[in-house]
């Protein structure tokens, strides 16, 4: 026999079983589009970024179930405190997506640009992942998604720090996946490697196979649903990845 629930009580019950997600770097690009998709798919979503005014615009466009928090991942220790507090305020999280990133074409090797990229994509990324992993370990489950890049596969003359920092991200979460497997906890770790996407991060000449941010975000969401360990976005970038991995250094360095 199914018990009758008044409309208001049924709504509260539905709210209790909704999954909760945090997207770091949701002010623009892939992170923003992914946050929208999660909201449409009945997630309670926390959005975090440095440009909080853009997050507030996202909240104003959403009907419900969205929380906003300013964060600057370049200040790693403060960011860890803010992130941990935000997780606690939301009552625990099922899915965490680290989409915040920095990178510039830097042929002149301007140190300020290199340093900012490293502080964001290496120190900042690892700091937030550390908080996420401690939360999921204590909770006993969870899903961590790192937005890396196809650039992680090889070095890049136009953006040395960016390519190297994305390699760090992919390698770091691979190590954590190996660690989690030994604990047998149901924690999923997904490495997303986008190619060119129509965002502010797509810089330089000769951009090809560039995908709209909403299309890329939908493919990322599908990879999350399938709990994949790795995904190239869009899917055809898997071919480029295969070529990059097999290309001899003597040829690659002439490109």
- Which tens digits make up the pLDDT trace of 18-34? 899 999 999 999 999 99
pLDDT of residue 199: 61
Say how far apart CA 72 and CA 180 lie, in whole Å: 28
Say how far apart CA 54 and CA 7 lie, in whole Å: 34
Across 96-109, average pLDDT: 92
Q: Is the pLDDT of residue 190 over 60?
A: yes
pLDDT of residue 130: 98
Q: Is 43 annotated as catalytic?
A: no
Q: Is the pLDDT of residue 9 over 50?
A: no
Q: How confident is the model at residue 62 (pLDDT cuts 50, 70, 90)?
A: confident
Say how far apart CA 24 and CA 61 lie, in whole Å: 18
Across 201-207, average pLDDT: 49
In order of start, what are the domains of the chain with their CATH numbers?
19-252 (3.40.50.720)
Q: Is the pLDDT of residue 6 over 60?
A: no
Instruction: Identify the weakest region by mean pLDDT among 71-80, 110-119, 167-176, 245-254.
Output: 245-254
Per residue in 145-168, pLDDT (tens digit) is: 999 999 999 999 999 999 999 999
230, 169 contact by CB (below 8 A): no
Residue 189 CA to its chain's centroid (Å): 11
- Choosing from 13, 43, 162, 252, which is the catalytic residue? 162
Q: Is the pLDDT of residue 1 over 50?
A: no
pTM of the predicted model as reported, rounded to 2 decimal places: 0.88
Q: What is the SS3 assignment for 96?
A: strand
């Amino acid at each position: 026999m199914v018990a009758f629930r008044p409309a208001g009580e049924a709504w509260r019950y539905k709210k209790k079983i909704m999954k909760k997600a945090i997207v770091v770097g949701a002010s623009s690009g892939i992170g923003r589009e992914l946050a929208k998709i999660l909201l449409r798919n009945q997630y309670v979503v926390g959005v975090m970024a440095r440009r909080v005014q853009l997050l507030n615009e996202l909240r104003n466009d959403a009907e419900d179930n969205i929380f906003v928090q300013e964060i600057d991942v370049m200040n790693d220790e403060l960011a860890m405190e803010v992130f941990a507090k935000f997780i606690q305020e939301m009552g625990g999280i099922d899915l965490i997506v680290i989409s915040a990133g920095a990178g510039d074409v830097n042929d002149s090797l301007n140190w300020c640009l290199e340093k900012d990229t490293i502080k964001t994509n290496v120190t900042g990324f690892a700091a937030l992942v550390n908080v996420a992993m401690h939360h999921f370990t204590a909770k006993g489950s969870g899903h961590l998604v790192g937005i890396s890049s196809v650039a992680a596969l090889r070095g890049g003359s136009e953006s040395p720090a960016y390519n190297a920092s994305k390699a760090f991200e992919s390698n770091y979460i691979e190590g954590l996946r190996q660690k989690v497997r030994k604990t047998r906890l149901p924690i999923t770790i997904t490495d997303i490697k986008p190619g060119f996407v129509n965002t502010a991060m797509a810089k330089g000449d000769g951009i090809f196979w560039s995908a709209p941010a909403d299309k890329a975000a939908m493919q990322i969401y599908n990879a999350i649903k399938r709990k994949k360990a790795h995904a190239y976005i869009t899917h055809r970038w898997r071919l480029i990845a295969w070529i990059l991995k097999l290309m001899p250094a003597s040829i690659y360095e002439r490109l």
